[in-house]
Every structure is written in C-alpha cells, then in structure tokens.
Amino acid sequence: MNPADQRRSPPLRLASVESRREFVSRLGAGLGGVALWQLLDRDLAVAGEIPSSLPHHAPKARRVIQLFMNGGASQMDLFDYKPELLQRAGQTFDPGAGVRVEAATSEPGKVLPPQFPFRRHGQCGRWVSDLLPHLGACVDDMAFFMAMASRTNVHGPGSYLMNTGFLLPGFPCFGSWISYGLGRIADNLPTFVVLPDAKGLPYNQKGNFSSGFLPAQHQGTVIQASAPNPIADLAPPEQARFITPSASQEGLTLLDKFNRAHQAMRAEDTRLESRVRAYELAARMQLSAPEVFDLSGEPAELRRAYGLEEPASQDFGRRCLLARRMIERGVRFVQVWSGAGGPSNNWDNHTSIAKELPPMCAATDLPIATLLRDLKARGLLEDTLVLWNTEFGRMPFSQGGEGRDHNGGAFVGWMAGAGVRGGAAYGETDPWSWKAQSDVTSTYDFHATVLHLLGIQHEKLSVRFSGANRRLTDVHGRVVTQLLA
C-alpha cells in the first residue's frame, strides 16, 4: 500500500483518536503519530495529487472561500423582501397571539420598513435590494438559505456558533475541521487562511479561527493583506542584521546534517524526521508566498473589476482577489471578513440602517460579484464553493428610530459554485422576517451541507475530547439537499 492509499483507508477516516492510534501503531510510529500525518500530507502534495476521493462520498467541492459579514447583516434590507413591513411601517410590532417580543440591547421600537427599494433579478426572479446591484446580477449562480436561525442574539456566542458549531469558545472552527479532515493541497502555502478586515479582527478575534483542541497546525493562518509582512515570521526581522542569505542557507544545511546524526540513534521517533521536513517546507513557503501577494501581474481591468480603484471597496476587493489567487495555488479554505469587531464600520447597524448599511454594501457588492465571475471564467467555480455568511440577522422593528437590533431568529446566507443548485432558495421567514418559519436551516444544517459538498458526512468527522466525540455539528445537522445540484 502506498502512503496515499493508507491515508484514505477507512480506519483513518473515522478520524477518532483511537483509529489514529491504531494506524500509527501499525506503522510503528510510536508517539510521533500525528507528525506522520504531515509526512503523508506532504508526500501527497509532492506527488501533485489532491486527496480527491474522500472516504464518505465523492466530493463536489475541493476548496472553499467563505465571505463573512461580521456584525449580523440585515436580511430584510438585503435579500428577504417583506412588503408587509412597508404596510406596517411605524406601527407597534405585534406578531400576535400574545407572543413576547424582546430585543437584546434595546426596547423594541416601531416597525421599520426595508430602507431601500428591492427588485427581482435573474431567471429565478430573486428579490435583491438595490444596495447590491452587482450581486443581483449573479443570483442565478447563487443558492439561498432564506430561513437560517441561530441560538443566540449576542455577537460573541453567535460568531462562535457560526464558526465552530458551539456557543462557547475553544472549539475548532469550520476551516480547521476541513484542514483536519482533508489535509493540505499545496505544501508551499498554508491550508487554511484568514483574511481579516484591514480595520481589525472580528468579534472573538482569533477565537473564530482557532483550531480548539485540534492540533495547532489546523488553525487559520491570519494574513494581513495590506501589511508589509503578511505572514508572520516568514522572514527574519530587519533588525536581525547578522542573518544573511548565505548564513541561513549554509546554516540549514549544517542543521540538517546535525539533526540527522542526532536522529540516527533515535530512528523510531518520527517526530524528529518531521521537524527536519518542517524546515524544508518552511523554506519552500518562504520562496513561494511573496508571489501570491504580488497583484501587479493581474490585468488592470480585472483589478478595477475587483474594486481596487475605489477607496470604498479597495480593501475587501484586494482580499477577494487574494482569495482567488490562493485558491488557485492550492489553499484549501480562505475566509474573508468584512468588518471588524465593535459597534460601527461593520454589519452591526444599530444606529441607522439607512446610513450604516450602504457603505458596507458598497465595499463588498462589486468585489464579490467579480470574484464569482472570475472564478467561473477560470473554471475554478467547478470545484470551489463560495459562501456568504453572517452570525445572525436583524429585527423588523427599529432601535432608536432608524437602526435595528440583533436577531438570532432569522437570517440569510447563500452559497455558489461547486455542487450548488444556482437560483434556488430554501426556507421562508414569517411575514416580517422576525423568525425563520418554514424549512428552517440551523447553523448545524448549514455546516452539514457544506461538509457534504466537500465529501464529508458530518456525523463521521469527529474527535474525542473532554468526554465526547466532538463534531462541527455537535449532535445536530441535516444536509439541505434542496440547494444541491
């Protein structure tokens, strides 16, 4: 059996600690079990082979770009058109039957109608707000979860839930699970990359990209797209003048010799070999990473189409273009954030939908639409999944007159690309977009669906930790087949 086949054999795919141990024992690897994975990963990458045939079923998607709108994007002002709100504008919000209406941070106000006109788009006739004209033109490629529901109305737990499947910190995020389950495609770039907003990290900061109890190699590599050194420690600091290229080069050669002599007496310990390889891979990453960030080779027209010439969309556009370049070069999962944490300059529009939402749309509408077109034109959309998400929605009634408070009861997400039924929509909210009403998609269902597209049965991707077999979908999750091609 060659290592690649080993990698895909069923006991491994159970992904439990037990099966790993078994596998490792079979190969006589001792304590260095997990390191061996890396060697195997690397061998696959060197062979230029993407681990394609997954154990559970044939995947539709091999890689993912997730666009995350931090703060709770207002569904009824973007995608969930509710004429009822126009009729009831200014009235006291009353869902009837004596149901108590509560809001997380404020006293519920009067019904606030959608703040911008909607129109139908595409062959599917989806309603989209005029704030998103470019995305409106893409609806036939997109499939909508129209009735998503969270379990909280608070950013911290809400962001954790959407990113890790749990309300509390400390669990592996979506990208980490995928890195863990599918491994790397390229060996000269990280497997899971996070591109935060230039203004700062989102709520929960790196907690949203943490590998939790999974090994640290699966955590999101944060890349500051606009910083001089986007990947930390890729090169020595400027102040370390004693380091010259030849000192490094000759040093690595001598280090390799020294390590191998040390290893010769300890051949049973594969971690020692892994460390030697890690330095080789690090050197390779040092060489290839800078090319990824160099956008000068991209045609001027395409740069413009990504919004790089407009101040409003420059930052997000650059990161969308980077996401494409990374996907192209073998990064498995790229998460692009819109908006930092905090009360403003993100999708958390408490004060005024009319004033706070348009800039967020202007920053993202064109870049996302171009990303979809660009991926499509290059054939990358065939095996790439693009996701648009947020941690929860907003309320049909006002907060302080013009803004909206958090609403875990209803929100919208969409996906496009590999395996997705373009133009489809699933689920419906109530007439006010207050609560998800029929064909509700929980965050677990959403994750289960995406894992399914990646060839993973969500119940089977688990790791034993703290008394239970932990999954991205906890003990829930149902694949929303209605949105699959």
Partner 1 sequence: MKTKRQPLAAHDPWTARRFCWGGTRGLRVLALRGLLLATLAFGSRLPATEAGSSVSNAWWALQPLRSVLPPRSPETSNPAVANPIDGFIRGSLRSKGLIPAPEADRRVLLRRLSFDLTGLGPTPEEMDRFVADAAPDAYERAVDRLLASPRYGERWARHWMDVAHFAETHGHDQDRIRTNAWPYRDYLIASFNSDKPYSRFVQEQVAGDVMYPDDSAVTVALGFLAAGPWDESSLRDIREDTLDRQMGRYLDRDDILTTVMQTFASVTVQCARCHDHKFDPVTQRDYYGLQAVFSGVDRANRPYDSDPAVHRQRRELLRHLALLNQGDRSELAHPETQAAIQRLESARKDAVSSWSAIAPDTFLSASGARMERQADGSFFVSGRHGPTDIYTLSVRELPPRVTAVRLEVMPDDRLPQKGPGREANGNLHLSEFQVRLFLPGASAAVDVPMKKASADYNQPGWIIDHSLDGDEKSAWGIHPQEGERHHAVFELASALEIPKGAQLVFVLKQLHGGHCIGRFRLSISSFSPSDALAALPGAIDQILAKPKAERSSEEAATLATTVMRHRWEGESSQLPAPAYVYAAASDFIPDGGLKPSGRPRPVHILKRGEITQPLGVASPGALSCVSVAGLPAFPSADSTDEGLRRAALARWLTHPENPLTWRSIVNRVWHHHFGRGLAGTPNDFGRMGDIPTHPELLDWLATWFRDDAHGSMKQLHRLVVTSQTYRQESRNPSTPSDVDPENRLLARMNRARLDAEQIRDTVLQISGRLDLRMGGPSDHQFDLQPGIHVTPRVDYTKFNVDDAAGRRRGVYRFLFRTLPDPFMDALDCPAGDQWMPVRNAQVTIQQALGLWNSAFMTRQCEHFAHRLEQSAADVDAQVREAFRWVFNRPPARDEAADFTAYARRHGLANLARLLFNSNEFVFLD
Q: Which residues pair with 144 in a beta bridge?
A: 414, 425
Cα–Cα distance measured from residue 451 to residue 433, given in angstroms and rounded to the nearest whole number: 27
Which of 54, 281, 354, 362 is in the footprint of partner 1 by CB under 8 A?
A: 281
* CB nearer to partner 1: pick between 279 and 309: 279
* CB nearer to partner 1: pick between 158 and 422: 158
Cα–Cα distance measured from residue 70 to residue 201, given in angstroms and rounded to the nearest whole number: 10
Instruction: Report residue 389 as tokens.
Output: 């998400």
226 binds partner 1 (CB under 8 A): no
* CB nearer to partner 1: pick between 103 and 139: 103
- Of 451, 340, 465, 337, which Cα lies nearest the Cα of 57? 451
* CB nearer to partner 1: pick between 35 and 143: 35
Q: Where are the beta strands (DSSP E) in 296-410?
A: 333-338, 384-390, 393-394, 406-407
19 binds partner 1 (CB under 8 A): no
247 binds partner 1 (CB under 8 A): yes
For partner 1, which stretch binds (CB under 8 A), given 48-56, 136-144, 266-274, 352-360? 266-274
In angstroms, what is the minimal distance from the CB of 436 to partner 1? 15
Which of 212, 403, 413, 417 is in the footprint of partner 1 by CB under 8 A?
A: 212
Instruction: Report residue 399 as tokens.
Output: 């907060």
* CB nearer to partner 1: pick between 224 and 482: 224
For partner 1, which stretch binds (CB under 8 A), given 156-164, 319-327, 358-366, 376-384? 156-164
174 binds partner 1 (CB under 8 A): no
400 binds partner 1 (CB under 8 A): no
In angstroms, what is the minimal distance from the CB of 166 to partner 1? 10
Instruction: Report residue 438 as tokens.
Output: 């029929």
Coarse DSSP helix, strand, coil percentages of the chain, rounded to the nearest 5 percent:
40, 15, 45
99 binds partner 1 (CB under 8 A): no
In angstroms, what is the minimal distance from the CB of 258 to partner 1? 6
Which of 66, 75, 176, 221 is in the footprint of partner 1 by CB under 8 A?
A: 221
Which of 15, 35, 149, 161 is in the footprint of partner 1 by CB under 8 A?
A: 35
272 binds partner 1 (CB under 8 A): yes
Cα–Cα distance measured from residue 45 to residue 329, given in angstroms and rounded to the nearest whole number: 12
| Neighbour count for residue 169 (Cβ, 10 Å) | 14
Three-point CA angle 155, 203, 232, nearest 5°: 160
For partner 1, which stretch binds (CB under 8 A), given 88-96, 151-159, 358-366, 442-450? 151-159
Q: Secondary structure of 78-126 in the HEC alphabet? A: HCCCCHHHHHCCCCECCCCCCCCCCCCCCCCCEECCCCCCEEEECCCCE
* CB nearer to partner 1: pick between 341 and 422: 341
Cα–Cα distance measured from residue 421 to residue 433, given in angstroms and rounded to the nearest whole number: 24
Which of 110, 119, 120, 262 is in the footprint of partner 1 by CB under 8 A?
A: 262
Radius of gyration of the chain (CA): 24
Chain centroid to Cα 133, Å, comes to: 24
Q: Which residues pair with 92 in a beta bridge?
A: 110
* CB nearer to partner 1: pick between 16 and 352: 16
Residues within window 39-98 making contact with partner 1, judged by CB under 8 A: none
Angular region, 169: left φ>0, alpha ψ -120 to 50, beta rest: beta
171 binds partner 1 (CB under 8 A): yes
242 binds partner 1 (CB under 8 A): yes
Q: Secondary structure of 350-381 in the HEC alphabet? A: CCEHHHHHHHHHHHHHHHHHHHHHHHHHCCHH
Q: Which residue has the tokens 């609560």?
A: 435
List b or e across 414-442, with b for residues whose CB sees 16 or more CB atoms inside 10 angstroms.
bbbbbbbebbbbbbbbbebbbbbbeebbb
In angstroms, what is the minimal distance from the CB of 151 to partner 1? 8
Which of 11, 95, 200, 431 is in the footprint of partner 1 by CB under 8 A?
A: 200
In angstroms, what is the minimal distance from the CB of 260 to partner 1? 9
Residues within window 432-471 making contact with partner 1, judged by CB under 8 A: 464, 466-469
Q: Answer whether 427's CB lies under 8 Å from 413's CB.
A: no
Which of 6, 263, 288, 482 is in the footprint of partner 1 by CB under 8 A?
A: 263
For partner 1, which stretch binds (CB under 8 A), given 116-124, 277-285, 290-298, 451-459? 277-285
409 binds partner 1 (CB under 8 A): no
SS3 category, 411: strand
198 binds partner 1 (CB under 8 A): no
Residues within window 178-197 making contact with partner 1, judged by CB under 8 A: 190
133 binds partner 1 (CB under 8 A): no
341 binds partner 1 (CB under 8 A): yes
473 binds partner 1 (CB under 8 A): no
* CB nearer to partner 1: pick between 22 and 84: 22
Q: Which helix (H) or strand (E) holds 4?
A: helix 3-8
